[in-house]
């Protein structure tokens, strides 16, 4: 079994940003993503998550290291000033590297 190094980028943001973020993912070349609703607490206060429009989502995307770089750069420049969010990357290993 051969595994390949990739990056897992995790984004936690207000649900409002959903469409903008998934559009960005397509633009930087991600081939897929996984998304779910979360509650959260942070510098911009608690997000209890009972109204979907006011809630948080977590988006996880596995991408190549270069795509991860572009993604984080654009998140920092275009999204961090506008939306309540955090983003971080983490090293993972995948099978079928052509899929990502």
Ligand X SMILES: Nc1ncnc2c1ncn2[C@@H]1O[C@H](COP(=O)(O)O)[C@@H](O)[C@H]1O
Q: Which residues contact another protein (rule: CB under 8 A)?
A: 14, 16, 19-20, 37, 46, 48-55, 77-78, 82-83
Structure tokens of 6?
């990739």
Rounded Cα–Cα distance for residues 37 and 84 (Å)? 15
Q: CB count, 10 Å around CB of 38?
A: 14
Which residues contribute to the site for its own copies (CB under 8 A)? Answer: 1, 3, 6, 8, 10, 12, 22, 31-43, 56, 58, 62, 69, 72-73, 75-76, 80, 86-96, 99
* Cβ-Cβ contacts under 8 Å for 8 (sequence gap 6 or more): 60, 61, 62, 89, 90, 91, 92
Q: Which stretch binds ligand X (CB under 6 A): 16-24, 57-65, 69-77?
A: 57-65
Interface positions with ligand X (CB under 6 A): 12, 30-34, 38, 40-44, 47, 56, 60-62, 84-86, 100
């Amino acid at each position: 079994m051969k595994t390949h190094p990739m990056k897992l980028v995790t984004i936690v943001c207000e649900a409002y940003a959903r469409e903008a973020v998934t559009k960005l993912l397509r633009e930087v070349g991600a081939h897929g993503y996984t998304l779910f609703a979360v509650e959260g607490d942070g510098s911009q206060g608690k997000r209890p998550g009972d109204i979907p429009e006011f809630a948080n989502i977590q988006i996880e995307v596995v991408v190549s290291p270069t795509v991860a770089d572009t993604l984080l750069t654009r998140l920092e420049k275009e999204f961090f000033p506008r939306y309540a969010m955090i983003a971080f990357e983490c090293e993972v290993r995948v099978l079928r590297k052509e899929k990502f």
